[in-house]
Structure 1
């Protein structure tokens, strides 16, 4: 089915061709990220975007965002702001987000005594949150404290109370820290974190998305690399034990927070495909494939090797994973139906 974009009818085949060109550009040429000057040129005098969401998303996939524009751009990527909003409308939206956050905080304060007396789990979770946050190192190179731990505890507890489906899991405190370093206002931190989880379809949540990711990762290895898949299956539940990659959304495999943000903003674009996190995980497995087979590693040794994948560069990983996805595109006539649905591959 054709879709209309900016007045032009674009076929799905043309979209695929455009995506291939974007991936090819990503693989062959390193480009500078979108800086504040370029980002500003995307808007007219009223603050409306002159560029389409698709164009900006493809540029983020190829080049990423400069730190100077990341905090604002993420508000569009997460859905905090509408892509079609004006400057005035965004001021109104921000005010609404702040008021809604304050209302949630007031509600949480009112019901907390009831939760403490009626729900033992609430106290346990609150203690878990406090313990996790207290372990965070939040000082700069000069030893100055850069984050209020009480603020992080407050937001995490509110997230738990208001988001029963996602609950609370260890690792959220590390993720939330990155949002606090991205924006400063408390209501912005809370909503960006909420919208990030929603936009990525709770892919980092144990009881929602992580299990699905692991099932699809196992299936992807089996389809793309049967020899490696057979070896892993013989060593036990290796792939299923890689859940920390997804729970922290690969936060611990990179050199810097900038690299984490770089990958996460690609996830937010939905490019080059849906559920790109599984392609990323497969690509990481391929990095250690030959060593695993050559040394006939045991399951425990394989997991230790995978856990020692650190200090990666996001641009390099995104490039390799995009290449993997292009291989999958070339096999689209052979891939199972569930792959086409999960990764958003063309049905024809």
Structure 2
């Protein structure tokens, strides 16, 4: 059972500032940084040998007692998520980091070649393409004034479902590219709804980073692509790591553990097994509660669907959700 730190200390959410117009209704953090328990920057640095090997056992023990101090969270999470082997040296990690940054840049460039909005600082919020591969003329684009878009009307257009199709543009026939481009505006709509109470996302560059990472991931993981909820899982990586490529790789490592949650078929949803496990646990630990839920028609535990899908990101404050993930 998690015991929230209520002793004197700095609330974790003070590091993740909420907009002044959004303070009402936003969950307050219950987790406080606890001296002697929370993994501090000093203790984190002391856990490395001279060549860079990490004493992961001592680090994990402290994290389980008091979480990670926000000032070193990004560095620590790269190890917790499996980006780096604790036995690696400083030089080995730097080499791996540079290789990964180059790989991400290549994937991002591949995506930019397929759609110029990737890496442009823009966030797509309207469809770019029809389901049969015809490009839509002048889609709505966030972060760019519509007057900047060429709307001279020189190219012939056809209206489909209220969208103008550019007849002069070459029709796309690659099904994988069509499927990917069809997800881009949905990513944009979700990005606009993700952690928007935070001052951090008043910076449009941070919004575009989130959109770019999700767009690239949707292309490289074609089996899963993009599903609603992934933006909630990716957002902490953008907040904690300054470099976009480093944030991408943390998200990619997290998705290796969670991608099964987003694989849905006509017969089942990705978190179905977890819901069944929860039902079995509650039935043993608190049979009265289980019976009560059964009486209310909640015995399938679908009320916990979102909790499992995005790891409580929407149930508790931003800082508390990060603490929950850590412990």
What is the TM-score with the length of structure 2 in the denominator? Answer: 0.64
Taking structure 1 as reference, are residues 106 and 172 closer, same or farther at Cα in structure 2, changes over 3 Å only? same
What is the CA–CA distance in structure 2 between the aligned matches of 1:41 and 1:235, rounded to whole Å?
A: 53
Higher relative helix content: 1
Stretches of structure 2 that go unaligned for 5 or more consecutive residues are: 8-33, 116-128, 134-170
Could you tell me which residue of structure 2 aligns to residue 72 of structure 1? 75
Q: How many Å apart are 1:171 and its aligned residue?
A: 2.0
Q: Give the alignment partner of residue 214 of structure 2, picking from 134, 156, 160.
A: 156
Secondary structure of 2:88's aligned partner: coil
What is the CA–CA distance in structure 2 between the aligned matches of 1:45 and 1:84, rounded to whole Å?
A: 12
* 1:116–1:122 contact (8 Å) kept in structure 2: no
Secondary structure of 1:252's aligned partner: coil
Count of paired positions: 240
Find out whether 1:43 has 2:104 as its counterpart.
Answer: no
* 1:139–1:145 contact (8 Å) kept in structure 2: no
Stretches of structure 1 that go unaligned for 5 or more consecutive residues are: 1-22, 267-348
Taking structure 1 as reference, are residues 164 and 223 closer, same or farther at Cα in structure 2, changes over 3 Å only? farther
Secondary structure of 1:47's aligned partner: coil
Deviations 1:17-68 (A, max 9, x none): xxxxxx89999x975311111111111221122x2x3332222111211111
Find out whether 1:169 has 2:214 as its counterpart.
Answer: no
Could you tell me which residue of structure 2 aligns to residue 274 of structure 1? none
Could you tell me which residue of structure 2 aligns to residue 58 of structure 1? 61
Q: How many Å apart are 1:185 and its aligned residue?
A: 0.7
Q: Specify the structure having the higher radius of gyration (Cα).
A: 2
* 1:203–1:246 contact (8 Å) kept in structure 2: no
Q: How many Å apart are 1:235 and its aligned residue?
A: 2.2
* 1:139–1:146 contact (8 Å) kept in structure 2: no
CA RMSD of aligned residues (A): 3.2
* 1:147–1:180 contact (8 Å) kept in structure 2: no
What is the CA–CA distance in structure 1 between the aligned matches of 2:102 and 2:112, rounded to whole Å?
A: 15
What is the CA–CA distance in structure 2 between the aligned matches of 1:172 and 1:226, rounded to whole Å?
A: 34
Taking structure 1 as reference, are residues 55 and 37 closer, same or farther at Cα in structure 2, changes over 3 Å only? closer
Could you tell me which residue of structure 1 aligns to residue 251 of structure 2? 193
Within-5 A mapping of 1:21-32: 31-32=36-37
